[in-house]
Structure 1
Amino acid sequence: MDYIEQTFSVRFAYRVFFTNHLFSPDNALFRDFLTETVTGIPKKILFVIDAGVVAHHPSLQEQIKAYFAHIPGYTLVENIMVIPGGEQVKNTEAAFYEIIRAVDRHGIDRHSYLVAIGGGAVLDLAGYAAAVSHRGIRHIRVPTTVLSQNDSGVGVKNGINFQGKKNFLGTFVPPVAVFNDYFFLTTLSNEEWRSGMSEAVKVSLIKDQAFFEWLKANAVLLAGRNMEAMQYLVKRCAALHLQHIAGGDPFEMGSSRPLDFGHWSAHKVEQLSGFTIRHGEAVAMGIALDSAYSFLLGRLEEADAKTIVAVLKALGFSVTHPLMDIQNEESPVLKGLQEFREHLGGQLTIMLLESIGRGVEVHELDTALLQEASQWLKAC
């Protein structure tokens, strides 16, 4: 046998910052990050902004232009891109290629930055475009929703949907930095405010019992839009997410997906609803279903399953939906299991619960028991 072998590793490092009014003239956080490493090479900054953010913050573009007027070594691309937000923007490749063309047109090179401001869908899309342009240009995320600030925006995944399959096209590439500006949360709709909290419930259930107890104790405050409580939720959830990424399989080369607890059905019900059901809403239902299944399987105490459902409801979530109803083996949501298996690479690996704060992986789900779990949730 004649061959040459090489092994190498690549170190990734990025910081997640927490602030208010990121582009205020007296907030030096973003400016200091950009200027802390001076190379002498001129750099450009291209902004891509979620149209929903622009609608709620109409002065944002002018604030950005004023902020960058006096940062040495950086040239702001005056033509700030505004693209539609929400999951629909990921369902075609149109916006993806629009960003690619802008990178080419404005000469955004590997020393320059693509900055995305918006919800998780816009961040996924822009991150994917950044990852494949010039084989990777520097990407900065500014998440503007609870869901993106505490979960998707602080991670390493980028992507778009393809042929009805969520995130079928994508990459694992970390951003160079994430800036969580809490002020953006103040203009969210009640639905968007609530939606992101399901990911906090998820990570607490599989990793941190104390955090779940905090969520339980503060559910009324969180549902009532208490900002101090939300800031704690965002920061704690983001920290747990980053700890997981550093845990040994950040690019998900294996079949284990602990952070996808509740997601096999959530992804499918999003698609079945034409993405009218928000991701966080679908995840809440998926968490409820898998918690009920864990109980009926004999792994989780019934009292714990009922507590999980009660906390989800206290936060304002529905725990089931007609599209989540499992009547038999032909129920549409069950197709999510096969798609999840394909996404993982062939072996089905599902995270269930042994207790609150402790997850366990299984490699098969019983359809009859899933049907029973679906009906149990209806009675809750």
Structure 2
Amino acid sequence: MPREFAVAIPPLESESNARLFSQRFSVSYDFAVAFTRDVFCEENGTLADVIGERRSGRAHLLAFTVDEGVEREMPDLKRRIASYVAARPDLALAGPIETITGGEAAKNDPAHVARLQERFVALGLDRHSYVICVGGGAVLDLVGYAAATTHRGLRHIRIPTTVLAQNDSGVGVKNGINAFGMKNMLGTFVPPHAVINDSAFIDVLPGRDKRAGMAEAVKVALIRDRAFFEWLEEKAEALALFASAPLEKLIRHCALLHMRQIAHGGDPFERGSVRPLDFGHWAAHKLEVLSGYELRHGEAVAIGIALDTRYSVLAGLFPAGQDVRVCRLLKRLGFALWHPCCDRRDDSGARVLLKGLEEFREHLGGELTITLLSELGTGVEVHTMDTGLIGEALDWLRAEA
């Protein structure tokens, strides 16, 4: 059926008989991603700068949520936040600073969303108020989802506190929670108002969580930046010991690669059937669920990377021997590349992990699209995967482990 796109409404007497019109407009997004240290030091103006000057003589209303794990490592964090806000007449706390249980548990109970939404309303927040979340990726996902669905969108500032959140999820445009036994089944595509990466939070992060975030750096290096992969190989021992300087460089470069993909990849809201930066993730998301979230996201991604790298070799896409090289780097960083749930079978004897392929396709709709490797630093998209080769790749991983 032909359509008309009306830039202006014509006079009534000259209107055509068209029944279908195209409504077309674009929305521009522009948000700051800042790298700093000690964001709540009273001399640090980063947070005040990304909020900006007050309007109509009213102070900006801020509602803070803090990850329980972060508060445990930094017991004076709430006091420092309150002091920072009190020292600036343009800012005001909307109410007491909320503590939220961290980790994947934050995303597994939909009651958390309703409780946050109710709190935002009770605090009198509006679309010119700010919800500021200090925490790991799971808490950022939860709070971002609650903020995006209250008043059809409260302004959300993310202050990520883990390597994974600072170099990947925290600088993205997605929010969500787990539901119906699947990862990130409910959520929104709503960019934050700003992201502030504070290196001081990484200092107090447990080693396991520092390491988990490195998997995303290996992933994006493999599909986008060979020189970055070679740098990771060069610095692997220092990174495994969590040396501050290389870890900060890893976070910054990885974050910039993700930002470039969002800005220039052509599909930031995933309207198509491709998730170009999700190499290794079809298996990782399923492994998280199968392990009862015993596996951290980054730990599951490391296994998924190893699996899809080996598969790329078996499928004739990636040079033989490069899979060994990739797995060697992951092991040097401290990752285990096998978990018993990789071999879990259903009543028919089929690997349950393989259901992750269909769930990955369903999450986007359309045809299955998986990113594999053609060479170091270059990804290639395929639309089918041979379950027999996946089984061979899993057997190889088990033997390597």
State whether TM-score is above 0.5. yes
* Alpha-carbon displacement from aligned partner over 1:282-332 (angstroms, at most 9, x marks no partner): 000000000000000011112211110000000000112221238897101
Partner Cα separation in structure 2 for residue 52 and residue 128 of structure 1: 20
Preserved contact between residue 326 and residue 371 of structure 1 (Cα < 8 Å): no
Partner Cα separation in structure 2 for residue 269 and residue 252 of structure 1: 23
Residue in 1 that maps onto 2:323: 305
| C-alpha deviation, 1:356, in angstroms | 0.7
Residue in 2 that maps onto 1:85: 102
Residue in 2 that maps onto 1:246: 263
Residue in 2 that maps onto 1:362: 382
Q: Does 1:262 align with 2:262?
A: no
Identity %: 51
Preserved contact between residue 41 and residue 111 of structure 1 (Cα < 8 Å): no
Residue in 2 that maps onto 1:165: 182
Partner Cα separation in structure 2 for residue 329 and residue 216 of structure 1: 39
Residue in 2 that maps onto 1:177: 194
Q: Secondary structure at the match of 1:354?
A: strand
Q: 2:117 aligns with which of 97, 100, 106?
A: 100
Residue in 2 that maps onto 1:141: 158
Residue in 2 that maps onto 1:129: 146
| C-alpha deviation, 1:73, in angstroms | 3.0
Preserved contact between residue 52 and residue 84 of structure 1 (Cα < 8 Å): yes
Q: Does 1:330 align with 2:350?
A: yes
| C-alpha deviation, 1:41, in angstroms | 4.5
Aligned AA (1:269): L
Residue in 2 that maps onto 1:51: 68
Preserved contact between residue 215 and residue 302 of structure 2 (Cα < 8 Å): yes
Partner Cα separation in structure 2 for residue 341 and residue 330 of structure 1: 19
Aligned AA (2:52): T
| C-alpha deviation, 1:186, in angstroms | 1.0
Larger Rg: 2
Residue in 2 that maps onto 1:228: 245
Preserved contact between residue 354 and residue 360 of structure 1 (Cα < 8 Å): yes
Preserved contact between residue 103 and residue 138 of structure 2 (Cα < 8 Å): yes
Q: Which moved more, 1:20-29 or 1:279-288?
A: 20-29
Ranges in structure 2 where 5+ consecutive residues have no aligned partner:
1-17
Q: Does 1:26 align with 2:46?
A: no
Q: Secondary structure at the match of 1:259?
A: coil
Residue in 2 that maps onto 1:276: 294
TM-score (norm: length of structure 2): 0.92
Aligned AA (1:184): F
Q: Secondary structure at the match of 1:170?
A: strand
Residue in 2 that maps onto 1:61: 78
Residue in 2 that maps onto 1:315: 333
Partner Cα separation in structure 2 for residue 239 and residue 285 of structure 1: 24
Preserved contact between residue 54 and residue 90 of structure 2 (Cα < 8 Å): no
Q: How many residues align?
A: 380
Q: Secondary structure at the match of 1:276?
A: coil
Aligned AA (1:104): V
Q: Give the direction of change, closer, same or farther, for the CA distance of 1:326–1:346 in structure 2 (3 Å limit).
A: farther
* Alpha-carbon displacement from aligned partner over 1:147-186 (angstroms, at most 9, x marks no partner): 0000000100000000111000000010010000111011
CA RMSD between the two structures: 1.4
Ranges in structure 1 where 5+ consecutive residues have no aligned partner:
none
Q: Which runs of 4+ in 1 moved over 6 A?
A: 326-329
Partner Cα separation in structure 2 for residue 295 and residue 249 of structure 1: 28
Q: Which moved more, 1:23-32 or 1:308-317?
A: 23-32
Aligned AA (1:126): V
Q: 2:127 aligns with which of 91, 100, 110?
A: 110
* Alpha-carbon displacement from aligned partner over 1:23-49 (angstroms, at most 9, x marks no partner): 011112112222346454442100011
| C-alpha deviation, 1:187, in angstroms | 1.1
Preserved contact between residue 23 and residue 63 of structure 1 (Cα < 8 Å): yes
Q: Secondary structure at the match of 2:132?
A: strand
Q: Does 1:73 align with 2:90?
A: yes
Q: Secondary structure at the match of 2:109?
A: coil
Q: Does 1:285 align with 2:303?
A: yes
Preserved contact between residue 67 and residue 101 of structure 2 (Cα < 8 Å): yes
* Alpha-carbon displacement from aligned partner over 1:116-161 (angstroms, at most 9, x marks no partner): 1100000000000111110011000000000000000010000000
* Alpha-carbon displacement from aligned partner over 1:94-123 (angstroms, at most 9, x marks no partner): 211111011000011000000011000000
Aligned AA (1:179): I
Q: Which moved more, 1:4-13 or 1:329-338?
A: 329-338
| C-alpha deviation, 1:77, in angstroms | 2.3
Preserved contact between residue 326 and residue 374 of structure 1 (Cα < 8 Å): no
Q: Secondary structure at the match of 2:188?
A: strand
Q: Give the direction of change, closer, same or farther, for the CA distance of 1:54–1:254 in structure 2 (3 Å limit).
A: same
Partner Cα separation in structure 1 for residue 306 and residue 103 of structure 2: 24
Aligned AA (1:311): L
